[in-house]
A and B are shown apart, each in its own frame.
Chain A
Amino acid sequence: MLQIKNLHATIDGNQIINGLNLEVKPGEIHAIMGPNGSGKSSLASVLAGREEFEVTDGTVTYKGMDLLDMDPEIRAREGVFLAFQYPVEIPGVSNISFLKTALDEIREHRKQEPLSARDFLNRTREMQKLVQFDSALTNRSLNEGFSGGEKKRNEIFQMAMLDPSLAILDETDSGLDIDALRIVADGVNKLHTPEKAFIIITHYQRLLEYIVPDFVHVLSGGKIVRSGDKSLALELEEKGYDWLREEIATS
């Protein structure tokens, strides 16, 4: 589904992704961990197409297409979803009309008829239930006045509504209390199918107690320095990131 080869990217002239390779197949869950400033969120931004990031080398192929050649909205319509680390507030735009607009755009791109108001509302209700999202928040302005946790849960609700093939969760767990964390993880697990892939970016191991990854990658200095299964996450939790740095330095 996704092949990243030798990816290099800069922001404001600073090298931030430095020769990154990654392959994600349908149905897989990849966790990307690493210390602050290792390039985790930058990777998410590059994949979503944030314009401040300049790709200087390498390729990213998504479903056989050149991902880097697509505008951000086209990537989204092709099924790439980013759950933002810091979701923005858009006053006056209701969550529900925003979602209807987004879903219409995505369906049009996929040559599907727009959902009727009734089908849309049914889907909204179903997904609210699935990810335990408060229906009162659905009718409020997009993220306006939401608590940190509500914003993160709204990201998961949007993910459920828009039905992406590749979902990237950028530190969705940060700032969540244990109950919210469980709800978010539960949502992801329910939405996970053999066709869908997830890239879960996280600083801590605790989210991975609830979402079991197929692979864990450790990012440092803008590239993957180590890959393994879920036991790697536990090892990191136990030892921190310093031992890894030392190991890399000495190797």
Chain B
Amino acid sequence: MRTENEIIEDFTTREYEYGFVTDIDMDILPPGLNEEVIQFISAKKNEPDWLLEWRMKGYQAFLKSKMPEWQNFKAPDVDFQDISYYAAPKNQPKYESLDDVDPELLRTYDRLGIPLEEQKLLAGVAVDAVFDSVSIATTYKEELAKLGIIFCSMSEAVQNHPDLVRKYLGTVVPHSDNIYASLNTAVFSDGSFVYIPEGVRCPMELSTYFRINAQNTGQFERTLIIAEKDSYVSYLEGCTAPQRDENQLHAAVVELIAMEGAEIKYSTVQNWFPGDEDGKGGIYNFVTKRGICKGDRSKISWTQVETGSSITWKYPSVILKGDDSVGEFYSVAVTKGKQIADTGTKINHIGKNTKSRIISKGISAGQSNNSYRGLVQIGKGAHKARNFTQCDSLLIGNKCGAHTFPYIESRNQTAMLEHEATTSKIGEDQIFYLNQRGIDPEKAVALIVNGYAKEVLSKLPMEFAVEAKKLLALTLEGSVG
């Protein structure tokens, strides 16, 4: 009979089975960062002068920036001169058919319930001519175009909608915001651009799946979403499937802009390679995500499920500028092995009657460290602003760490802030109780964890939520002995 500790040990030391290397034929720039490199990128993408100038401003800011020191882990030494900043993907599939793909990977896709065509896309398999992703994407695009919705890659947007891009790019996350945002400004590769016109409710979840040219934009992604007055959009980023990537450093920037009465829902599931048992080779996920509720009665909500990466360092934030605007942050962060997560949110209440809600659920196992860091700022004019924060930590085993760093700054006496925090352990009693009802220890852990994270998972769009639940179970499965 396996003891609880053995099971926990098993799953916390289990290797990431799905990391694999691709050798897609690329047009790669040699490693190094300087003004010529930035000019090269900009020229390659045929960008207008103003964009090159903006990139250069980012580069200058990057040169002046220092690495932050307040985080609750030792920031890795990233050699910025050792990174290649441009790699043009050629559309050469790696495999001819799914038969050539690692069966273990396919098994994972199956268990996550990912449709066949998407499996091919993810695994790098040539897609059938009849039913390919391009045609799906085109169909969607046509439907969206009828409503005046723009959904395309950032590169396309720069070419086809330069005025919109110029008007909003960098207005929420300025070029000098932080060292990684500055770097992104200088060298950003591609990303998504979304524009929802006034009064339009986007009829489908916009997902990076269905964006042409979405692959291999990974490392320095730049996303911009604009929701005009009284519009609505729900955007999904990433996927539950284990994602391949050769780049260790990920420094993306996401900017959201919600005008009067508009609502933006942004959901993320992140499952990048977490590194080997010692945490080596895993992805550094250093992302700057921020939204602004510009208009009155606007709303932005972030939902994230973070299970991958060796270091996850991000604080999806909301600036509540408009009166009666609402900001929300729902997060589940799972760390195991030697993974590190330092994540949370920043909510800046500026307008009157602004409301925010923060629900953070950390799950730590193995020798990992999981920190919640949150800042709630109430400005002078934010009369009757309200915040509710709940951050819970769940520990599995006794070698992991959970930390909470909630900061509150209030300059207005009429504001109301509530904070709740709990720390709990998965009890042997809970596991035994479920065992006694016929449920094996691994399923028991999955059930308990999904129950714990329910409040956040329920905020994800339906299909995504189902996948995320399976992902949590799978992440916690721990090779059955």
Contact = CB atoms under 8 A, between A and B. Distances in A.
A87 interface: yes
Given A88-B427, A91-B452, A92-B455, A109 B438 contact: yes
A135 B225 CA distance: 45
With most chain A CB atoms within 10 A of its CB, the pick from B435, B436, B452, B454 is: B436
A73 B440 contact: yes
Given A50-B432, A90-B433, A105 B451 contact: no
A72 B436 contact: yes
Contacts of B427: 88
Contacts of A212: none
A201 B419 CA distance: 44
Interface stretch (B47-55, B128-136, B313-321, B442-450): B442-450
Contacts of B447: 90, 93, 98, 101
Interface stretch (A10-18, A23-31, A76-84, A242-250): A76-84
A48 B452 contact: no
A91 B440 CA distance: 19
A90 B430 contact: yes
A101 B473 CA distance: 14
B34 interface: no
B451 A73 contact: no
Contacts of A76: 435-438
A202 B3 CA distance: 30
Interface residues of A, number: 30
A101 B433 CA distance: 13
A76 B431 CA distance: 13
A141 interface: yes
Contacts of B430: 88, 90
B237 interface: no
Nearest to A81: B436
B104 interface: no
Nearest to A51: B3
Nearest to B452: A92
A149 to B, nearest CB: 18
Contact of B439 (A73, A87, A141): A73
A73 B433 contact: no
Given A92-B451, A93-B450, A106-B438, A87 B443 contact: no
Nearest to A105: B438
Contacts of A73: 435-436, 438-441
A84 B4 CA distance: 20
B284 to A, nearest CB: 31
Contact of A92 (B428, B435, B439, B454): B454
Nearest to B449: A92
B4 A51 contact: yes
Nearest to B392: A91
A76 B433 CA distance: 11
Given A49-B1, A91-B451, A84 B433 contact: yes
A141 B429 contact: no
A93 to B, nearest CB: 4
Nearest to A99: B437
A42 interface: no
Contacts of A50: 432
Contacts of A158: 437
Contacts of A101: 439, 443, 447
Contacts of B454: 92
Given A76-B435, A91-B451, A105 B429 contact: no
Contact of B1 (A71, A88, A98): A71
A98 B395 CA distance: 22
Of A84, A93, A106, A158, most buried by chain B (CB within 10 Å of CB) is: A93
A117 to B, nearest CB: 16
Given A101-B443, A102-B438, A162-B438, A72 B448 contact: no
A16 to B, nearest CB: 17
A72 B443 contact: no
B453 interface: yes
Contacts of B448: 90, 93
Nearest to B440: A73
Contacts of B432: 48, 50-51, 72
Nearest to A72: B435
Interface string B439-475: 1110100011011111100000000000000000000
A69 to B, nearest CB: 9
A71 B435 contact: yes
A50 B3 CA distance: 10
Given A51-B3, A51-B4, A88-B430, A102 B451 contact: no
A230 to B, nearest CB: 28
Contacts of B2: 71
A148 to B, nearest CB: 16
Contacts of B451: 90-93, 141-142
Contacts of A92: 450-455
B136 to A, nearest CB: 31
Nearest to A80: B436
Nearest to A50: B432
Interface in A1-59: 48-51
A76 B435 CA distance: 7
Contacts of A102: 434, 437-439
A88 B436 contact: no
Given A90-B451, A91-B451, A105 B439 contact: yes
Closest 7 CB pairs of A and B: A92-B451, A93-B451, A72-B435, A92-B454, A102-B437, A76-B438, A105-B438
18 contacts: A48-B436, A49-B436, A51-B4, A71-B435, A71-B440, A73-B436, A73-B440, A75-B436, A76-B438, A84-B436, A87-B433, A90-B430, A90-B447, A92-B452, A92-B455, A93-B448, A93-B451, A158-B437
Interface of A: 48-51, 71-73, 75-77, 81-82, 84, 87-88, 90-93, 98, 101-103, 105-106, 109, 141-142, 158, 162
Given A51-B428, A105-B439, 12 more contacts: A49-B1, A49-B435, A50-B432, A75-B436, A88-B429, A91-B451, A91-B452, A92-B453, A93-B447, A93-B448, A105-B440, A162-B438
